[in-house]
Chain A
């Protein structure tokens, strides 16, 4: 039940001018293992939804091959393709009851009415919303409609389950609840799933692996931990969470990694991607929460000194912008539990440091 995309491209023609072309998906290669939940994440217009619609069959790729469970499915129309989609708008049939909506796929397969009833009840019990069995769609809340859409997709036992931004119409609280629920159900049924979203947090919570897309191209495919900690390029680093980019140079390469200059001092950092040589310009990537701030003490040598420029108090955290002499950009720091960690004020002199294992090195972009 794996999914494989081989050199998939999709070129849309402009409606007004056929000569004009828009490349929505640009030579995408991707392999999704059985039972895995993979998220396509990226800014709007990055091609993630088009990729999903290509897998479901609603769009035909301009080039490339789609393989589902070892079969090339390019020429199989969406209604014969073994995929089920959960739509952004849920697409609940408004004239059918909840039970009829969920049983729709089985009805099409020619199941007997009483068998459909049993199966619908079974799935609704597993998903814990059996009490809605005889409701009509207009009597459902957003979250309930979402469950109906999910149950309707799962009951068909598809090889692949597709989610097209399924939570974007829900309020913030429900979204958090539903993404945990979706992940639970996906794991319980073990269905290979592809999930499209532009919400990073959502992607981090539901996915085994995340695919970051931009301009129709895949930027990186990795686990949530690796995406966040070891982004493959500046785009990914910047797109996921917040980041400090510190330009520096490689001083030395050794068996553990490399040594880079950092302010007045230096740091030994592990190299994860790319080929580097001594003397290469690189970008050091450090997340704001990895920055350590301490009070300036004259007697100790710190790698970097700076002055607090801006303080934003958010409750659980406090955010600082620090001006550092040796760097052209300001350093952002997020300090958790500020009461324990201590407060700084605008104009305070501070020392800046970080744990080398929390840093990551990318080639410098000019």
Chain B
């Protein structure tokens, strides 16, 4: 032990000596460390402190009380149940979709892919809204078409349906990548050696995809556990969900310690499963691509199975389209369920009464995402290219907000920044800061990925020709990271526009968000206005994506290829 410590110390002191020679670098590192501590670690610390200290005394009283409460225990149980089921079903459907698209030559592939992407770029509670509009008391299907009154969609069934539809695309994207990286020649080889199609799938395709499947299940579990929008709309009081309970304790009962304790209970499974995924499962991925990429011969699926899979894809696509058509129709329907004739009054309402939320959301998302992107790129650069003590801690801390449920972070922010030294509640700044630190991991991930592809000798060449490290970063490294920066930007912009779980704690009369507006419209039963807001929100996101893409191809299209290849 002593020896290890001594070596660690020796290594660190050498690294410190090295970075003190570059004061600008040192300044950056210190600034990033302190901001990570203030805006990620400190709020989490506050959540823990408030739950285990009562009246200045350390005690597990509140935690004990919360755990012994039947209703909260039920909430924990339900949350975990929902997480497990959603992750299993979502991954199953995602795998089905990914496998069909990666391994068969069915028609409409592009359309299937697009439809599977839509839920990712729309607010996560759109599914829940559409389900109420379709199957609720005044639902199009239950009430209008079938004439069923009092159909119970609230609770377990409805929520599970909404969660699976919301989160299966995440599994689809992951697994499509996994399946495409498995060389089809391996399947061809097994087939050639005499395996039946089913055996080939069972013995080759599936085992190679297992790490990816495990990873998708765990990611979906964390995301479902953290999800807030769908349960708030659909769970109902008889099916308590932890994230919603924590929110209600704080906004309904003004009971901060209890809310914090619930958040803490939510944090534990989320964080453990996240790190299980990141440090164990994600490392077990097989790398099977060797030599030239080979085109799939698509023989692994028999024609009959192919058309069954095609049918399932059609069904799933139809469900997703139904959801979005419902929202679109709802936005133009006079009174949903009673009078479905068309009107523009909901849009008029949004553009008059609710327009501030639209501009606020745009302003906040447009300000925070580039900042998150730049910070993410800088951290990625430091982590990949520089040596300094605490490098791993920096990476770990900055990735933490991927693992922490938004509800927990939101509660942490109101606990942390409601009193001196930093009073930020109700301000524009608290929303910006929250968004920046929640979405830096996106930038870091894409930055790290691209930097690992860029040959370090490109930077060395610049230094060799006389450039100092700042000039090299500015003129060489940064331009090379621009495509990654923009693709990260698209993703974090979408997340910022559709965020609700943390933001709902931080909005105020002065600064409001569209997602929070949609929620309150749903809660007060104005589904038309909620739909109109949602349509505008999705339209803004689509426009932004097209705009960023256009800028990218305009300025970088001509050599984008090389930049990504190297």
Q: List the interface of chain A (C-beta within 8 A of B).
A: 17-19, 56, 58, 77-80, 83-85, 87-89, 91-95, 104-105, 108-109, 136-138, 149, 152-153, 156
Contacts and interface: CB of A to CB of B under 8 A. Distances in A.
Given A89-B457, A93-B462, A109-B466, A136 B11 contact: no
B10 A58 contact: no
A95 B464 contact: no
Contact of A94 (B10, B467, B563): B563
A85 B562 CA distance: 22
Given A56-B464, A79-B468, A85-B464, A138 B457 contact: no
B558 interface: yes
Nearest to A18: B7
B17 to A, nearest CB: 12
Contact of B458 (A18, A93, A153): A93
Most buried by A among B455, B461, B480, B561: B461
Contacts, number: 80
Contact of A108 (B455, B465, B561): B465
A138 B562 contact: yes
A58 B563 contact: no
B10 A18 contact: yes
B322 to A, nearest CB: 45
Given A77-B463, A94-B458, A153-B465, 16 more contacts: A18-B11, A19-B3, A56-B464, A79-B467, A79-B468, A85-B460, A87-B461, A88-B457, A89-B458, A91-B458, A93-B458, A94-B562, A104-B465, A104-B467, A105-B465, A156-B465
**Which residue, of B455, B466, B561, has the highest number of chain A Cβ atoms within 10 A?**
B466
A87 B465 contact: no
A138 B559 contact: yes
Contacts of B466: 79-80, 105, 108-109, 156
B566 interface: yes
Given A95-B479, A95-B480, A138 B465 contact: no
B563 A91 contact: no
B11 A79 contact: no
13 contacts: A79-B466, A87-B461, A91-B455, A92-B458, A93-B458, A94-B458, A94-B566, A104-B462, A108-B467, A108-B471, A137-B559, A138-B561, A152-B461
B206 interface: no
B298 interface: no
Contacts of A83: 464
Contacts of B558: 136
A19 B3 CA distance: 10
Contacts of A137: 559, 562
B460 A91 contact: yes
B476 interface: yes
Q: Which 3 pairs of residues, A with B, have the shortest CB-CB distance?
A: A138-B562, A91-B461, A105-B465
A87 B461 CA distance: 8
A84 B565 CA distance: 25
A242 B101 CA distance: 57
Contact of B460 (A58, A95, A105, A138): A58
Contact of A84 (B457, B464, B556): B464
Query: Chain B binding site: helix, strand, loop or mixed by DSSP?
Result: helix
- Do most interface residues of chain A lie in helix, strand or loop, or is the interface mixed? loop
B551 to A, nearest CB: 16
B389 to A, nearest CB: 14
Contacts of A56: 464
A89 B562 CA distance: 14
A52 to B, nearest CB: 11
B463 to A, nearest CB: 5
Contacts of A95: 479-480, 556, 559, 563
Nearest to A149: B461
Given A79-B463, A94-B563, A104-B462, A87 B476 contact: no
A48 B146 CA distance: 82
Nearest to A164: B457
Contacts of B556: 95
Contacts of B479: 95
A105 B467 CA distance: 8
Contacts of B566: 94
A137 B560 CA distance: 11
A79 B457 contact: no
Contacts of A80: 466
B565 to A, nearest CB: 8
A93 B479 CA distance: 10
B458 A78 contact: no
A136 B562 CA distance: 10
Contacts of B462: 93, 104
Given A18-B7, A91-B455, A108-B471, A136 B559 contact: yes
A39 B121 CA distance: 58
Nearest to B7: A18
A77 B464 CA distance: 9
A260 B465 CA distance: 56
A88 B455 CA distance: 11
Nearest to B472: A79
B464 A79 contact: yes
Most chain B CB neighbours (cut-off 10 Å) among A56, A91, A137, A138: A91
Interface in B465-491: 465-468, 471, 476, 479-480
Contacts of B562: 94, 136-138
A95 B559 CA distance: 7
Contacts of A88: 457
A54 to B, nearest CB: 13
Nearest to B479: A95
Nearest to A80: B466
Contacts of A18: 7, 10-11
Interface string B334-375: 000000000000000000000000000000000000000000
A79 B561 CA distance: 29
Contacts of B467: 79, 104, 108
A102 to B, nearest CB: 10
Interface in B519-560: 556, 558-559
A312 B157 CA distance: 79
A101 B362 CA distance: 40
A104 B476 CA distance: 11
A109 B457 CA distance: 21
